[in-house]
A and B are shown apart, each in its own frame.
Chain A
C-alpha cells in the first residue's frame, strides 16, 4: 500500500470514528515533501529532506465547535485528541452565524493521488546544478549563496455531509545572491512547477550581472524618486494590499482602509487585480477549506474596487449568501482571504519600460517590508541586491540601499506603466503572487545606509 492510499484510507476511518462523537465533522490532511539544498560562500552548507503530514479535525454540534491537530492518523494517537476536541464543544459559545457548509460535493479528480514516495529531484542532481552556478561565480571571483528546493504539497478535505476534495501541486525554486568581496550584490530567483523548467543559466547570469552592476554605488539623499520596481519588489505591495485592503473581516468590522469604498475608484485606472487559481503560474487549489469551489475574483478593475473574498460565514453577512470559495479553515480568526493574487500585465516589456525611462531608480527587490500604518497601508522596508540609476534609458551607476516608507494605496495611484512580463514570486514575508514590473512616478525614501 502506498503512503497516499494509506492516508486516504486512514482519513476515512477517522471520519467514521469522529462521526460517532459529533454530528458534523471536517477533516483536512496536508501532506508536504520538501528537499532543499542550501549554499553559501561558494560551498554547499545545508541539505535537508522532510516529509510532514498535518491532520486537522473539526467536530461541530449546534453551532459549537472543537478541534484537534496531529501528524498521525493512528487511532491510538488521535482518539484522546478527539475526546479533548469533543470536550471543548461543551465550553464553546454558539456561533449565531454558523454557516451551512457544502454537502455532497465531489470535486473532479478527487481521488487522492497524494505525493508519491519522493520528489523527482535527487540530492546529487540538485548539487550538480548548484556546483555549476558556483563555478561560474568563482571564475569571476564572486561569492554566492542561495537555495535550490523541490517541494510538493497535497490537500485532502472531507466533510461528513459527503464533500470530498483533493489536490496536489509541485514547486521548485532556485534563488541566489551573488556578491563581490566588498559586498556589492545581485539577486535572482525562479519558481517553476518542477526542477526541469528552471532556466539555471539565466538566473545565474542575472544575479552575476546585477552584482557587477552594483559596484561603486553612489549615495542618494532621502527624498521621493521616480522608480521602476522589478516584479519581486511589487510582491511586497500586493502582500499588504491583500492582508489589509482585501480583508473582508476588516471591511465588515468597519476598520478597513477601503471601508465603504466598494464600487469606488481607489487605485490608478491601469491597475487590474484578480484572484485566480487557474492562472498558469499559480498552483492554486480549485476549492477552499470549506469545500466550496474557488471562483476567479476581479478585485480591482481599472482602479475600481469591485469585490471581496468570501467564505460561507461572510457571504451571509455581506452578500447574497453565496461563498466565492475563499475560506480558510473554519473558524478562521482572520476571515476569508485571497491566496492566488495576480496583478494584470501591461503592454510593454520591462526592458522597453527601462529603455524609455529617464532619471528613475530601478529596484531589484525589497527587504523586511512591514506594515507601519493600516490607515493608508503605509509600509516600510529597504532596497536590496541591486538599485540602479537610469538616465535616458540606460543604467548609469548603482545606488546605495535606502529605506522607503510609503502608502501602498498612494503608490498604486501613481502608476505610469505596467510591464507585459509576469512572473510568480513570493514577498519577503511569504505568499505567492503573479506580478509584472511597475513604473511609478514616486517612492518616498526616508533613510540611508552604508551598505
Chain B
C-alpha cells in the first residue's frame, strides 16, 4: 500500500472520530510480513510466506472503550469501522464503575526503526534452505535413534502507523529474526529431546545477521549427542538440592513468576477469568521482599535487540528503563495509560501492546532482565556440593496467582563436590515464587549474560500472542525442591 494512502487513512479515521465527538481515539495500521522455513527429516515441512495488512480503531465514548478492526482501507469501510467502535463503546458504557482516564503523554511525531545489517527478506531461499538442509543432516546423521530432526528459521517485519486524536503520529518498523534446531531421539524404550539455542527458538530484533550469529550448523552435532546421552543417563535425583539454572530456562522463570505477576491488569483482577490474578497485590508496591539481594530485575524496552524493544508502545508512549525489583525489593508494576493512576503513577510505563491490527492493546511485558552478578559459571559450579544444573525448556506450569510453579527441562547435570559428574534425564523443579527467589545465592557476570527471546507469550481473551526478551546469566539457588516422582 502506498504511504500516502496510509497517511490519508490515518487522517480520515481521526477526522471521523473527532466529528463524532468521542473522548479519545486512535488508529493503528499494521502491515506484517512473516517468513518461516522448516526442514524436518529431510523435507520442507513448513512454509510461511505471508503478508497481512489491516487496522484497528480504539475509541473512548461515554467513558468506556470500544474497538473494531478491518482489513479494508476504503474510506467507506473506515467510516463503518469507526461507527462500529463507537457503537461498541456505547454498549460498554452500560456497565462501568469509573470512566476511563488516560495518563498524560506528550504528543509524539516520530519515526522509529530496528537497526539491522542484512535485510532477512532479501536473502535468497537458496542460502536460507542450504543452511537448514545441511544443519538438519548433521542432526539426523543417519542414526536410527534419531526419530525426528528439525531446523527452522523465522523472520518478521512489522510496519506500523499510529495516529491519536491527541495529535500523535508515529511510524515504526520492527524487524526480528530467529531460529531453532532440535532432535527427538528414542532407543525403543525412552523418548528424549534436545534443542538449540533454545526450545521454541532464539530470536532477537535484527536482520539475517542474527541467524548467522546463532551458529546452528556448528552446534548441531553437540545438540544431537546431548540428546542421545539422555537415553542412557540416570534419572535426575530428587529432593532438596542446590540448583544452577542456565540461560533460556532462567528467562522463562523470570517471565512466568515475575513478568506476568507484575502486570497491573492481572493485579487489578482484569485477567481473572482466564490467565488469572497475581499474588503481588497493591500493598506490596515498594516494600515486598520478592527475593534475595541478588535479585535485580530491570524493565527496558529501549535496549538493543530485545523483542519488546520499540520507540513507542501501542498507547503511543515512549518507554523507559526502570527497576521492577531492586536488591530483592519489589518496586513497581508494568502499566499502560489506562491503569497507571491506580498505583498513583502519573505516566504509563509504556507496556500496552497488541498482536497485529486486529486486536486491542493490553498490558504486555517489556524486555525484563536479571542484572548480571559478579561470579563466573565455573565459580558457581565449584561452590556447589550436591546440586543439579539444568538447561532447555521442556515444561512450564504456574498457578493463576503466579505463586506455585513447576518446570521441567530437557537436560540436567549432576554436580558433586564442585565438579560435574554427568548428565541426568528429566530434571524438574518446583517452588513458591517469593521463597524460590529468596534462595537466589549467586548470579554469573556480564560475560555470561545473554538476551533470550520469548516469541510466543499468550494472554487475553480473545487470545493474543506477544514477543519480549529476558536477559539472564546462569544463577544459583539453594534448597530447591527437585523432582516430582517421589510423591
Chain A residues with a Cβ under 8 A of chain B: 34, 36-53, 65-72, 77, 81, 84-85, 87-88, 90-93, 95, 122-124, 126-128, 130-131, 134, 143, 145-147, 149, 175-177, 179, 183, 185, 187, 222-224, 253-255, 257, 331-333, 367-375, 380-382, 384, 401, 403, 405, 444-451
Whether A46 contacts B94 by the Cβ 8 Å rule is no
Nearest chain-A residue to B126 (Cβ)?
A: A91
User: Looking at the complex, which of B4-12, B155-163, B288-296, B394-402 is the stretch in contact with chain A?
Assistant: B394-402
Q: Which residues on B are within 8 Å of A, measured CB to CB?
A: 38, 40, 42-54, 64-71, 84-85, 87-98, 125-126, 129, 133, 147-148, 184, 186, 188, 190-191, 268-274, 276-277, 279, 358-360, 362, 394-401, 403-404, 406, 408, 426, 428, 430, 432, 461-462, 484, 487
Provided the pairs A37-B92, A380-B395 are in contact, do residues A175 and B273 lie with their beta carbons within 8 angstroms?
A: yes
Chain A residues with CB under 8 A of B94: 44, 124, 127-128, 131
Q: A372 and B95 in contact (CB under 8 A), knowing A47-B88, A93-B43, A255-B186?
A: no
Flag if B43 contacts A95 (CB, 8 Å).
yes
Q: Which residue of chain B has the shortest Cβ distance to A68 in the bound complex?
A: B49
| Besides the known contacts A127-B92, A448-B404, 12 further A-B residue pairs in the complex with CB atoms under 8 A apart | A46-B360, A69-B51, A81-B51, A91-B125, A93-B44, A122-B87, A124-B94, A127-B91, A380-B397, A380-B484, A449-B399, A449-B432
Determine if A40 and B84 form an interchain contact, defined as CB atoms under 8 angstroms apart.
no
Q: Which residue of B lies closest to A381 (CB)?
A: B397
* Cβ–Cβ < 8 Å partners of A368 in chain B: 396-400
Residues of A within 8 A of B96 (CB): 43-44
Chain A interface, DSSP helix/strand/loop, else mixed: strand
Please tell me if the beta carbons of A48 and B52 are within 8 angstroms of each other in the complex.
no
Total A-B contacts with CB atoms under 8 angstroms apart = 259
A449 in contact with B401 given A43-B96, A47-B67, A72-B71 (CB within 8 Å): yes
**CB neighbours of B461 from chain A (8 A):** 36, 38, 147, 149
State whether B487 touches A48 (Cβ < 8 A). no
How distant is B405 from chain A, measured CB to nearest CB, in Å? 9
Residues of B within 8 A of A41 (CB): 97, 268-270
A44 & B95 in contact (Cβ 8 Å cutoff)? yes
Q: Which residues of B contact A223 (CB under 8 A)?
A: 487
Complex contact B95–A130 (CB within 8 A): yes
Q: Across the interface, which residues of A come within 8 angstroms of B66, CB to CB?
A: 47, 123
Q: Please measure, in the bound complex, the distance between the C-alpha atom of A401 and the C-alpha atom of B314, giving whole angstroms.
A: 36
A403 touches B404 (CB 8 A): yes
The answer to whether A70 touches B394, judged by C-beta atoms less than 8 angstroms apart, is: no
Measured CB to CB, the closest approach of chain A to B237, in angstroms, equals: 16
Residues on A with beta carbons closer than 8 Å to the beta carbon of B191: 255, 257, 374-375
Residue of A81, A91, A369 touching B49 (CB-CB under 8 A) = A81
Q: CA–CA, A87 to B127, complex, Å?
A: 13
- Can you name the residue of chain B whose Cβ is closest to the Cβ of A95? B43
Q: Are B359 and A222 in touch, CB under 8 angstroms? A: no
Q: Is the CB of B71 within 8 A of A44?
A: no
Closest to B186 in A: A255
A134 touching B95 in the complex, CB below 8 Å, given contacts A91-B129, A93-B42: yes
A447 touches B95 (CB 8 A): no
